[in-house]
């Protein structure tokens, strides 16, 4: 892990959650013990996340809040103002982590420009840490050239047993950049996997706990989402689960390069 950027191993994702659904999810999550919340400008739920945090009674200093800048706001003139809007919606004066959400479509805004603007946001105290999301190795190299690897807290990427993204993860590790796994449960697809189910049964755990524990044991942060309080509680118990080397190897063997998020016009040339 990049020691300058202590990203919590376990957080609560809010992708696809809107309105009262996201308010309830965040409130329940905070109530059962989550302290890291992940949102994004494009999710259209920053205001609701901010409301849930404000109403939860959990002290701001106890929380780690992440948001992501959308592609429309990458230009130097737009990035900082857009982050200030996000802060207003979230009802806070500083986020803990701000990410570039996807590479700039068609390289319309150069990496050096938006990373420079993100570094300026950090210098202004709008965000404690900065990072990237959905970057391949070539883009990570550009980001490192722009601001230095020590200033890139994480690369948040799709990573689950069916897509283990080893090349990107290994490069990030070699540069001291932390990996955050999103879609760790592959939209629930891996929960019915016979290998995962067998490990879960043997360990008296849920399939979700097994997969989340696997990712964290590899050193990745995870940000699963759920609208059900019992699932939120159950997922959190993955922090207590330690898999054996044999179990880790069984899950490692499930990799089949199955990518579930590949939006045309946004995705880079994946490694």
Q: For 107-137, how does the pLDDT look when each residue is reduced to its tens digit (9 = 90+)?
A: 999 999 999 999 999 999 999 999 999 999 9
Structure tokens at 224: 């699963």
Contacts of 135 (CB under 8 A, 6+ apart): 100, 103, 143, 155, 157, 168, 268
178: nearest Cα among 214, 138, 225, 130:
130
- pTM for the full predicted model: 0.96
Query: In terms of DSSP H, where are the helices of the chain?
Result: 19-32, 46-56, 76-90, 111-123, 137-147, 166-175, 194-203, 207-217, 229-236, 245-252
pLDDT, position 149: 96
Q: What is the pLDDT of residues 31-61, one digit of tens each?
A: 999 999 999 999 999 999 999 999 999 999 9
pLDDT, position 3: 46
User: According to the annotation, is 178 in a ligand binding site?
Assistant: no
Helix 46-56 / helix 19-32 crossing angle, nearest 10 deg: 40
Mean pLDDT of each 10-residue bin along the chain, 271 residues long? 67 97 98 98 98 97 97 98 98 98 97 98 98 98 97 97 98 96 97 98 98 97 97 97 98 98 95 95
Tracing tokens 């929960």 back to the chain, one arrives at 191
- Beta carbons of 127 and 95 less than 8 angstroms apart: yes
Q: Bin 252: left if φ > 0, else alpha if -120 < ψ < 50, else beta.
A: alpha
Tracing tokens 């993100």 back to the chain, one arrives at 118
- CA 76, chain centre distance (Å): 24
Which residues form the catalytic set?
A: 43
Domain positions in the chain are: 12-187+220-225
Question: Other C-beta atoms within 10 Å of 178: how many?
Answer: 23
Distance between CA atoms of residues 160 and 193, nearest Å = 12
Overall size of the chain counted in residues = 271
Domain at 12-187+220-225, CATH homologous superfamily: NADP-dependent oxidoreductase domain (3.20.20.100)
pLDDT, position 2: 40
Distance between CA atoms of residues 11 and 63, nearest Å = 10
């Amino acid at each position: 892990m990049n020691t300058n950027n202590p990203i919590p191993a376990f957080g609560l994702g809010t992708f696809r959650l809107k309105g009262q659904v996201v308010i309830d999810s965040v409130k329940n999550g905070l109530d059962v013990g989550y302290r890291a919340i992940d949102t994004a400008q494009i999710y259209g739920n920053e205001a609701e996340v901010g409301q849930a945090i404000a109403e939860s009674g959990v002290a701001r200093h106890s929380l780690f809040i992440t948001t992501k800048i959308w592609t429309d706001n990458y230009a130097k003139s737009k990035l900082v103002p857009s982050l200030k809007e996000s802060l207003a919606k979230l009802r806070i004066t500083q986020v803990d982590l701000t990410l570039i959400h996807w590479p700039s479509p068609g390289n319309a805004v150069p990496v050096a420009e938006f990373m420079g603007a993100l570094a300026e946001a950090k210098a202004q105290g709008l965000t404690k840490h900065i990072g990237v999301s959905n970057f391949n190795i070539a883009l990570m190299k550009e980001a490192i050239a722009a601001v230095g690897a020590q200033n890139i807290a994480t690369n948040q990427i799709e990573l689950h047993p069916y897509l283990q993204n080893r090349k990107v993860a290994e490069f990030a590790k070699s540069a001291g950049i932390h990996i955050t796994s999103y879609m760790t449960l592959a939209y629930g697809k891996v929960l019915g996997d016979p290998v995962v189910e067998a490990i879960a049964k043997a360990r008296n755990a849920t399939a979700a706990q097994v997969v989340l524990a696997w990712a964290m044991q590899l050193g990745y942060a995870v940000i699963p989402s759920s609208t059900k309080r019992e699932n939120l509680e159950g997922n959190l118990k993955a922090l207590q689960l330690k898999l054996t080397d044999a179990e880790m190897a069984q899950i490692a063997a499930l990799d089949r390069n199955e990518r579930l998020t590949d939006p045309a016009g946004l995705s880079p040339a994946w490694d």
